[in-house]
Amino acid sequence: QVQLVESGGGLVQAGGSLRLSCAASGSIFSRNRMGWYRQAPGEQRELVAVITSSGSTNYADSVKGRFTISRDNAKNTVYLQMNSLKPEDTAVYYCNVETYFYDLTSEYWGQGTQVTVSS
């Protein structure tokens, strides 16, 4: 099992910045992918950014150039630095971890943290 603890959400004005953190504990295999998804009211959950254990990243087009995902493997922690925030970034942000052990993939979700961007 993997436990995820998120922090860093809040209320910010448009153009501001926030940094989200997600610390993972438990059975984190060396091959894994950590990332962030978000869900706005009435919308489906969508990928924001992910980073693999080897450091490869993938971003949603809507956040490219504004958000940066990074990780500290020693701490099993993933970060999302969000700059130039827009009202449309308002959503609940969820940490996600996928672990890979041979052909077994396990997926875990955090409880979510609210990000609200005011105009």
Q: What's the mean per-residue pLDDT of the chain?
A: 95
* Residue percentage of the chain with pLDDT more than 70: 100
Q: What is the pLDDT of residue 82?
A: 98
Residues of the chain with pLDDT under 70: none
Q: How many CA atoms lie within 13 A of 55 on its CB side?
A: 1
Q: What is the pLDDT of residue 119?
A: 93
CB 80 within 8 A of CB 67: yes
In a 10 Å sphere around its CB, with 0-12 CB exposed, 13-18 middle and 19+ buried, how is residue 83 labelled? middle
**Torsional sign, CA 70, 56, 112, 24:** negative
CB 45 within 8 A of CB 91: no
Provide the total of helices (H) and of strands (E) in the chain, helices listed first: 0, 11
